[in-house]
Amino acid sequence: MRKCAYCLKRSKCPYKKGKKHFCSKEHKTLYYENDIKTLKKQIQIEFNKMITENQPCAYCGKRFVKMDCSHILSRGSCDHLRFDYLNVLPLCSRHHEFFLASVSA
Ligand SMILES: [Zn+2]
Ligand SMILES: [Zn+2]
């Protein structure tokens, strides 16, 4: 018997993801809908949209249909800056790669 990660009831949990178990598919969905990681991801998508929408690439100044949102200080090392608009640059995919290569070198 396992504990459902959502309702915390002990029951048969046929659904699992990683180490988490869920008694039903609904509880699995509900759990991840309210999961901080999921919320962060959704906010990040909106945030990135806001940063890159109608913005030219910070390197080449050209506008592209698909723009990347590049974090100056990576989300991994500076998680608190992930939604700081001073920490992001709109970049075209070519210069995003260029940028990533230059910061990791
Ligand atoms: Zn449950
Ligand atoms: Zn560019």
pLDDT at position 90, please? 96
Torsion angles phi and psi, residue 64, rounded to 5: -130, 160
pLDDT at position 83, please? 93
Residue 60 CA to ligand 2 centre (angstroms): 4
pTM passes above 0.85: no
The counts of H helices and E strands in the chain are 3, 6
Q: Which ligand sits nearest to residue 15's alpha carbon?
A: 1
Contact (CB, 8 A) for 58 and 42: no
Residue 10 CA to ligand 1 centre (angstroms): 8
pLDDT at position 104, please? 67
